[in-house]
Amino acid sequence: MRFRFSAPCALAVLVVAPLYFLCFFLIKRQCGPLPLMLTTMGVMLDGDKHAASRTAHLEVFSSSVDSSTPRAAMRGRQERAPHLTARHVLSESDSPFLFPSHHWVPGLRWVFVITPTYRRITQRLDLTRLFNTFGLAASNVHMIVVEDSVNRTAKVERWLNDSLLLHWSHLNVSSSSGLRTRGAEQRNEAIRLIRDIVLNEADAELKRAYEDSVVYFADDDNAYDIRILHELRKVRNIGTWPVGLAGARRVAQYCDVNSTTGKIKKYNAWGTGRAYPIDTAGFGLHVRHFLQDPPLLWKIRSKKGRLESDFLEQTNVSKWDIEPLADNCTKIYTWHVKTDIRWGDKEPPEDFDKKFDV
């Protein structure tokens, strides 16, 4: 049966359509760009083909919370996970540094997360866990993944594209031979990118936000609670918190706090004789430390066990003046996790991913 377009229908279309577009034009002219609302999850990312998949799981969570608030269990989840239920007004920028999403949230502190990585049998496993955690962030988390390789690999690029992360960069730098510690050169490459982003940002509002950001060094084989972002956003200069599970220790590092002064009075960690008995995963710094000339960088020739101390000594901030966070260093939001897979008693073959992207 053929559809017949009657005269009344045609008249209705001719009258209603122009009125619709006229109203839209007048509203936009009067009010300016209509604000985009983000339920932490509901970001429609123009030009990002993965937009729906990046945020769909969060939309379900938000709807569930909205419809279940009378239930104590859901109220508890809402209190523990404000990052999943908060409503934010988005701003849009054409900054080339905002990728893949070009939206961000004014008033929410930016966190730059630096992650060195290298090819191994558990690399995808570790990065997937890492991306899934920080991908829960509403916005304003920029993850910088730096491969220890001659070239950036298509695999890591694909994993980043498939992740829930809203803002990321992918770099590479091959480690020099003969180093006792790993990751320093990769972290320094990311620091140089952060300097480039902050110092050369053309969007004035976004630049101001970047200038008050925090930098965190997240190794790819650690585990993280998303609430670490809440602690990072409290950092005014340098902040610290406990780190769980390292070797035979239940807690790799924590500090005792003077209840009167609120300052650290004792560090509990391996190698307490170190200038700064703090683990890489146990501190965050204000971005200003990396914008000075010369910038704060990791020393690639540090002796084993001295890497963090050699780095933090350059800040000229006493270990007693570092800010104790995570409820005065009583909560753990990050853990050392050693993932290791063997082929019996042998190392995995070099082409372990020839048939399957494991």
Active site residues: 308
CA distances from 209 to 23, 109, 140, 229, 338 (A): 35, 7, 10, 16, 35
DSSP 41: S
Tokens for 163, please give them. Answer: 């992740």
Separation between Cα atoms, residue 246 and residue 243, nearest integer Å? 8
Separation between Cα atoms, residue 92 and residue 87, nearest integer Å? 16
Residue with tokens 């050392």: 336
CA atoms within 13 Å, Cβ hemisphere of 105: 25
Separation between Cα atoms, residue 162 and residue 164, nearest integer Å? 7
285 close to 190: Cβ distance less than 8 angstroms: no
- Going by C-beta distance under 8 Å and a sequence separation of 6 or more, which residues neighbour residue 209? 104, 106, 109, 110, 140
DSSP 4: P
Beta bridge partners, 323, equal 239
Tokens for 230, please give them. Answer: 């809440």
Residue 221 annotated in ligand binding: yes
Separation between Cα atoms, residue 296 and residue 299, nearest integer Å? 10
- Going by C-beta distance under 8 Å and a sequence separation of 6 or more, which residues neighbour residue 323? 234, 235, 236, 237, 238, 239, 240
Binding residues are 221
Binding residues for Mn(2+) are 221
